[in-house]
Amino acid sequence: MEQIKSFEQYRELAAEARRLPNLCTNWYFLPEAVREKIERGILYLEKVSGGILLLEKEPEFLRCYFFLNSAAPSERIKLPAPGVAELVYQNKMTPAQETQAALLKGMGFSLGRESGRLSCPESEALEEECGSVKVASSESDIPAICRLIRSTFDPRYAFISDEKQTALDLHAGNIFQIREGETLAGVLYSECAKGVASIRQLAVDESCRGRGLGRQLISFYHKQYRGKVRTFAHWVDLNNAPAIRLYRKMGYSPDGRHADEYII
């Protein structure tokens, strides 16, 4: 696994990869996003049979992007850390995406999680009483926020922010929290881009569930972005029935976007 150290090196690799016959790829990043990953030192190259993998180093795993010759035989690969490759599609896979899934399986990947996107227009997002929710602002809360997120989400699929990244999100006003006494009962990470607000992560402490805290956090999130976005959207594990019920109660419905995550 070789670290990509400059944008020029990436451009040469990408140009060579795009000349592959029968090219298939799940790479989609714009140049500014690629530059940011290289500057952070998290983008790596792995050569494989039939093409290359670009690997983005997350705290707990490698996010895998491929440039492959779809007609070349697949060979099983071995990575230095768990890997996750994502295929995103609308309603159902195209024949090209089915070929990509077959190539991933040939390299040793297996289907790990199936996610769907729920969304609603800004005008239809519902709100309930949320007086106990606040914008997180104290750096002393960062360790508790990180512990709650780590205890809630599978690190193979979720982006688990470290304390440094959490501090950046906190100072940007992107984290909302609710407390019960001294206990951090719930937290919501939000983000916004191109008129779409989204929930990166929503977590309620196991001892505090069943009290409507998730609805309060989502209501506060809706209030914070009301009038500033066109759409609210969130990806959810299709096997997480309680989460899907919660979002439906808050005005969301499936919009046809799917993401299958393959793990190795």
178: confidence class by pLDDT, cuts 50, 70, 90: very high
pLDDT digits (tens, 9 = 90+) for 237-247: 999 999 999 99
Each domain of the chain, given as residue ranges in start order, spans 2-108, 121-263
Contact 17, 67 (CB under 8 A): yes
pTM for the model stands at: 0.82
Answer whether residue 157 shows pLDDT above 80: no
Q: 208-231: string of b/e by CB count within 10 Å (b at 16+)? A: beeeebbbbbbbbbbebbeeebeb
Q: Which residues lie closer than 8 Å to 182 by C-beta, 6 or more apart?
A: none
pLDDT at 158: 67
Q: Which amino acid appears at position 23 of this protein?
A: L
123: confidence class by pLDDT, cuts 50, 70, 90: very high
154: confidence class by pLDDT, cuts 50, 70, 90: confident
Answer whether residue 25 shows pLDDT above 80: yes
* Superfamily of domain covering 121-263: Gcn5-related N-acetyltransferase (GNAT) (3.40.630.30)
Span 32-50, mean pLDDT? 93
